[in-house]
Amino acid sequence: MDFHVRDGEKEWRVTAFYGWPAVSDRHLSWDVLRLLRGQSSLPWVCVGDFNEILFSTEIKGGSRAQWQMKNFQAAIDECELKDVPWEGYAFTFDNGQAGTANRQCRLDRALCSEAWLDLFPYAKLFNLDRELSDHAPVKLDFDRREIGGRTRSQFRFEKIWVGEEGCEDAVIKGVERGNGDLASSLRGCANELQAWKKINIGKINRSLEVKRRQLARLNEGDRSEEAMTRRRKLIAEIAGLYKQEEQYWRQRSRALWLRKGDRNTKFFHSRAGERRRKNHIVGLIDEDGREHTGDEAVARVANDYFQELFTSSNPTYFNEVLLGLEGRVLIE
Mean pLDDT for the chain? 80
Residue 298 inside a domain? The answer is yes
Residue 215 inside a domain? The answer is yes
Check residues 23 and 296 and name the one with the higher pLDDT.
23
Residue 253 inside a domain? The answer is yes
* Residue 137 and residue 6 in one domain: yes
Of the listed ranges 80-89, 129-138, 144-153, 267-276, the least confidently predicted one is 144-153
Residue-level pLDDT at 312: 66
* Residue 117 and residue 9 in one domain: yes
Beta-carbon contacts of 103 under 8 Å, excluding residues fewer than 6 positions away, are 59, 60, 61, 62, 93, 94, 95, 97
* Residue 218 and residue 188 in one domain: no
Return the percentage of the chain with pLDDT > 90, whole number: 19
Average pLDDT over residues 259-282: 59
* Residue 125 and residue 6 in one domain: yes
Residue-level pLDDT at 260: 47
Rounded to an integer, what distance in angstroms lies between the CA atom of residue 101 and that of residue 22?
20
Question: How many domains does one find in the chain?
Answer: 4
* Residue 131 and residue 175 in one domain: no
Check residues 281 and 85 and name the one with the higher pLDDT.
85
Residue-level pLDDT at 147: 37
* Residue 129 and residue 16 in one domain: yes
Q: How many CB atoms lie within 10 A of CB 93?
A: 20
Residue 328 inside a domain? The answer is no
Residue 195 inside a domain? The answer is yes
* Residue 82 and residue 211 in one domain: no
* Residue 63 and residue 170 in one domain: no
The residues that bridge with 141 in the sheet, in sequence order, are 124
Return the percentage of the chain with pLDDT > 70, whole number: 79
Residue 277 pLDDT class (50, 70, 90 cuts) = low
* Residue 50 and residue 129 in one domain: yes
User: Residue 111: which H helix or E strand, with range?
Assistant: strand 108-112
Whether residue 71 has pLDDT greater than 90: yes
* Residue 14 and residue 49 in one domain: yes
Residue-level pLDDT at 150: 45
Average pLDDT over residues 302-311: 80
Residue 208 inside a domain? The answer is yes
* Residue 300 and residue 188 in one domain: no
* Residue 60 and residue 89 in one domain: yes
Residue 146 inside a domain? The answer is no
User: The whole model's pTM is what?
Assistant: 0.52
Whether residue 25 has pLDDT greater than 80: yes
3-state SS of 27-91 is HHHHHHHHHHHCCCCCCEEEEEECCCCCCHHHEECCCCCHHHHHHHHHHHHHCCCEECCEEECCC
Residue-level pLDDT at 207: 82
Alpha helices in the chain (DSSP H): 26-37, 66-78, 114-119, 167-177, 182-200, 203-219, 225-253, 265-279, 295-310, 318-322
Task: Provide the residue range defining the domain that includes 236.
Answer: 204-280
User: Which of 202-211, 259-268, 284-293 is the most confident on average?
Assistant: 284-293
β pairing state of 108-112 and 44-49: antiparallel
Residue 72 inside a domain? The answer is yes
Average pLDDT over residues 23-47: 92
Rounded to an integer, what distance in angstroms lies between the CA atom of residue 220 and that of residue 69?
24
Q: Are 85 and 69 in contact (CB under 8 A)?
A: no
Residue 146 pLDDT class (50, 70, 90 cuts) = very low
How many residues appear in the chain? 332
Beta-carbon contacts of 133 under 8 Å, excluding residues fewer than 6 positions away, are none
Check residues 114 and 132 and name the one with the higher pLDDT.
114
Helix/strand/coil for 93: strand
Residue 30 pLDDT class (50, 70, 90 cuts) = very high
Residue-level pLDDT at 255: 46
Question: What is the per-residue pLDDT across 182-199, written as a single tens digit (0 to 9) for each?
Answer: 888 888 888 888 888 877
